[in-house]
Amino acid sequence: MYLAFNDLVTLFSDFKGVKEADHLYFTITDNAAVAQPRGLFIPLNDNSGELLDAIANGAIAAIWERNKPIPKYAPNHFPIFFTDNPIEGMTQLLRFYYEKINGDNAKKMNVTKFVFLNKKLLKENKETYDIAVMLEKGLLKNTNDNSEGRE
């Protein structure tokens, strides 16, 4: 089950760009330089790279810090979701997605790939962005105390 445009609207109601209800995000990353087919780009710091590179590598939307100017080259139709704190936004997104896939009964499904290369965040989060591992280690607070994962 891929993360979808409507999922992001649930988390980030302030956005600009075209409303693409059928957008599915196959990749989520903080690094503009990596291949991100049907990607959602989240620049977490100055080392994340440029939005232009993320678009060239497959990004079809971005989560953007509210007070940071959007580059003039950003296409008008390109969906940009605004947050006051990108790291908190990313954490909300991880929690939301974990709950979304945890509620699905399918044994095999397509899932969104999370690729975070920010070394500082990796150090703070015990070098993993695997949602199940993060929950197991208590790095994300599970909101419903049901932390059983997929088989």
The pLDDT, as a whole number, for residue 121 is 54
**Owner of token pair 């620049």:** 43
H-helix or E-strand containing 62? strand 59-65
> How much is the pTM?
0.74
The pLDDT, as a whole number, for residue 7 is 94
Q: pLDDT tens digits for 63-91?
A: 999 999 999 999 999 999 999 999 999 99
